[in-house]
Amino acid sequence: MRKSLTFEAAQQLHQRRGRSLIMASVAAFVLGIAVSASSASVWGADRRDAAQARFQDAVATEHADVVDVVAQYRRMLTVVQGFFTIRAPSQREFESFAGSIDLPQAYPSVIALQFVERRAGRASGDVSYPITLVAPSTAAPTLLGFDLAADPGARDALESVGSNGGVTMTPPEQNAYQQARMQLVAPVHRAGRFVGWVGATLDPTILAAQMLGQPDSGIAASVQWDANGDVLGSIAGVGVAADGAVLFRSTEHLLAEGTPWTVNVEATRAFDPHAVGFAWGPFAVGLVVTSAVALILLLLGRSRMAALDLATRLGMDLAASEARAKAVMDSAVEAILTADALGHVESANPAAEVLFGWTEHELVGRPIGGLVPALAVDEETSGLHDVRWEEHEQLVEGVRKDGSTLPLDISLATTVVAGAEMFTVIARDATVRKLHEDQLEHQATHDPLTGLANRKLFDELLVRAVFRAERSRRAIAVLYLDLDGFKDVNDVFGHQAGDRVLAETSRRLESVIRPGDIVARLGGDEFVVLCESLATPDDAEKIAARIVTAVGRPIPVAAGVATVSASVGIAIGSRGESAASIVARADEAMYRTKQEGKAGYRFATSNIS
């Protein structure tokens, strides 16, 4: 990629990129609306099936939100812990780092971050615990310099964390101003030596609101610390009246990252008055999320364009504005590095030091390919201008000083300064976005109740397995099974017991198959097993026999013991046979097993091409 950009050409290029991002955000908004509307329609159809089953889903969602929020805050403090582990920042550096975390948006219950030291006093045995750093300093100005030795509870909590290690969350307590506060605390070791603690002061009310989110209509939820603690916060959906009758109630105690919580969920009549109608609540939530995502995409894109534009302009006139360029780079949230045509780093801003773990002095002169392998070049035969790179931002892998890797959003631009090419690399940590994308991908390909592969993923895996079988000439088999008596379990014990039976059946199926075999839930009480590299059809028969035996064992449920059995159809793939044909034959064999007495297995008729 070789371009000599004038200021006007660079500006036009950035404007085109900006318009593309705006169009992408609009497209995401429209698509999000369509997805939200579709999800609301599906939600409405499901709501007609069983109100109690949907209530259990709402309870599970509240529990997951509590666990996720606690995990997010622990990860945030782990990042702060890592920041203090690699350096001893000044107050200004600490505040700049805290600003890059975006506390008000991502962690709204955080009042302030602190760093606490442990210092020996003049008298023997005296120890002080001064708070030496606070960010943002304006959030809690009285904390800076305060000695926690005056607070026995806080002192004991710090020492407990120091001995136990890890990140610890303390229960809510009243401060001197009669305000409820919680603490997240983690010890900091630098170069193998304990240097103090990092902490985050939390507002329990805001934390509870973030945990509970916005419940469905007719749902009221509250969260409290431990089983007997005070209620930290409660929230009610639309239509919940203070004196309304309660249809369902759930009180469960759970551990989230080692911290005890009690989540109370109630459903009133407004939760499902008629079990009909369009689900406006989920649609509105989806619309809000879609709008937020589209807005964030637009703002991030504009921020990236602004940073890239500034970096390009500064690169074109580096000799005349070196001090100004350094100030801009030092204040940028994104990591910015400049490199020569051979890929040697010439400069790096503080954000790059934090991102890659190297100081600027250590980075200068190093090959950029050591940090971003996608930009590696052969210095003797090529340079960065030969790297094939699209004009838009790309997701690549980065390498830190300690050898660990992380996903990065990378932009690469080039300009000419004094007749020599200079490359500007802008990098941003994409760990959270990549994790979110992986979670979405898993949700799209796995059954939410059992965690097994769903029909979509199974179809893809079966097509690949058929292709491998054709090449290797090794047999494959599909075992199609249906649970006998499952409807009776739902009728007698209820849908919650039915879900328990499905989950336990899934676990048993995974326990009796061979390593490398795949179990999937197609829907309802139907499962399939994909077996590859079979030596003889007897191998599939042995697996089917183990399945019938395992599924037939009684399953304890809340109201008693449920018993189901498995009717299994076995189809051995024939040469040249399609994946759909194998599944159809296994399905037919399963139904013949049911007709002949259930609780057994039979082979499908062979498919002769």
Burial 165-185 (b: 16+ CB within 10 A, else e): eebbbbbbeeeeeeebebbbb
Distance separating alpha carbons of residues 270 and 414, to the nearest angstrom: 60
Q: Examine domains 71-274 and 319-433 and report if their fold is the same.
A: yes
pLDDT attached to residue 315: 57
Residues with Cβ within 8 Å of 536's Cβ and at least 6 positions away in sequence, in order, are: 475
Peptide bond into 136 cis (omega under 30): yes
At residue 274 the predicted structure's pLDDT band, cuts being 50, 70 and 90, is low
Residue 496, pLDDT score: 93
**225 with 209: CB under 8 angstroms?**
no
* Domain extent listing, the chain: 71-274, 319-433, 446-603
d(CA 447, CA 439): 13
Work out whether strand 219-225 and strand 259-268 pair parallel, antiparallel, or are unpaired. antiparallel
pLDDT over threshold 80, residue 419: no
Interval 441-481: pLDDT, tens = 787 889 999 999 999 999 999 999 999 998 988 899 999 99
Between CA 481 and CA 502 the distance in angstroms is: 13
Query: Does residue 416 sit in helix, strand or coil?
Result: strand
- pLDDT of 508 higher than 90: yes
Position 147 scores a pLDDT of 79
Give the DSSP letter string of 185-221. EEEEEETTEEEEEEEEEE-HHHHHHHHH--PPTTEEE
Which token pair is 62? 């509240």
CA dist 562 to 494, 502, 583, Å? 11, 11, 29
How does residue 243 score in pLDDT terms, banded at 50, 70 and 90? low
pLDDT tens-digit readout, 515-564: 999 999 998 999 999 999 998 889 999 999 999 999 999 999 988 999 99
Q: Residue 4: is its pLDDT beyond 50?
A: no
Rounded to the nearest integer, the mean pLDDT of the chain is: 83
Indicate the SS3 state at residue 546: helix
- Cα of 231 vs its chain's centroid, Å: 28
CATH of 446-603, one of 3.40.50.300, 3.30.70.270, 3.30.450.20, 3.40.50.11540: 3.30.70.270
Q: What pLDDT sits at residue 2?
A: 40
The DSSP H or E segment spanning 119 is strand 119-120
The SS3 of residue 254 is: strand
DSSP state of 232: E
The amino acid sitting at 387 is: V
- The CATH code that applies to domain 319-433 is 3.30.450.20
Cα–Cα distance, 313 to 296 (Å, whole number): 25
Instruction: List, in sequence order, the alpha helices (H) in 258-403.
Output: 280-316, 322-331, 350-356, 360-363
Q: CB neighbours of 326 closer than 8 A, spacing ≥ 6? A: 347
Distance between CA atoms of 413 and 391, rounded to whole angstroms? 8
- Listing DSSP states for 424-463 in one string gives EEEEEE-HHHHHHHHHHHHHHHB-TTT--B-HHHHHHHHH
Mean pLDDT across 31-60: 76
Distance (Å) of CA 362 to CA 250, 346, 357, 365? 57, 11, 10, 8
> Which pLDDT tens digit goes with each residue over 600-609?
999 998 765 4
pLDDT number for residue 153: 66
CB 161 within 8 A of CB 186: yes
Q: Which of 98-102, 226-230, 270-274, 427-431 has the highest mean pLDDT?
A: 98-102
Closest-CA residue to 334 (of 255, 412, 218): 412
CA distance 199 to 186: 6
Q: What is the mean pLDDT of residues 292-306?
A: 72
Asked whether 293 and 28 are in contact (CB, 8 A), the reply is yes
Q: Dig out the tokens for 295 from the structure.
A: 């807005």
Q: How many CB atoms neighbour CB 314 within 10 A?
A: 24
Collapsing DSSP states into helix, strand and coil, what is residue 538? helix
The pLDDT value given to residue 304: 63
pLDDT over threshold 60, residue 195 = yes
Class of CATH domain 71-274:
alpha beta
